[in-house]
Amino acid sequence: MLALSRGEPAAIAQLYQRHGPRMIAFARRYVRHQGTAEDIVVGLLGKWLERPPRVAEAQRMVAFLATSVYHAAIDWIRRERAEQGQPPRGEPIAASADGRVSGPLAEPSMEASQADLRSQLAAALGRLSSSDRLLLETHYGQALSPEECMDVLQISRAAFHQRLHRARTRLARTLTGEELANLGGSSQ
Burial of 23 (0-12, 13-18, 19+ CB in 10 A): buried
Query: What's 2-83's CATH class?
Result: mainly alpha
Q: Which fold has domain 114-186?
A: Arc Repressor Mutant, subunit A (1.10.10)
Q: Helix or strand or coil: residue 53?
A: coil
pLDDT score, position 66: 86
CA-atom Rg of the chain in angstroms: 24
* All CATH 1.10.10.10 domain ranges in the chain, comma separated: 114-186
Q: What is the pLDDT of residues 83-93, one digit of tens each?
A: 877 766 655 54
* Under 8 Å between Cβ of 19 and 66: no
Q: How far apart are CA 17 and CA 183, in angstroms?
A: 64
* Under 8 Å between Cβ of 67 and 23: no
pTM recorded for the entire structure: 0.45
Q: What is the pLDDT of residues 127-168, one digit of tens each?
A: 999 989 988 888 887 778 888 888 888 999 888 889 999 999
* All CATH 1.10.1740 domain ranges in the chain, comma separated: 2-83
Using 50 as the pLDDT threshold, list the residues of the chain that sit under it.
Answer: 93-95, 186-188
Q: How far apart are CA 37 and CA 14, in angstroms?
A: 19
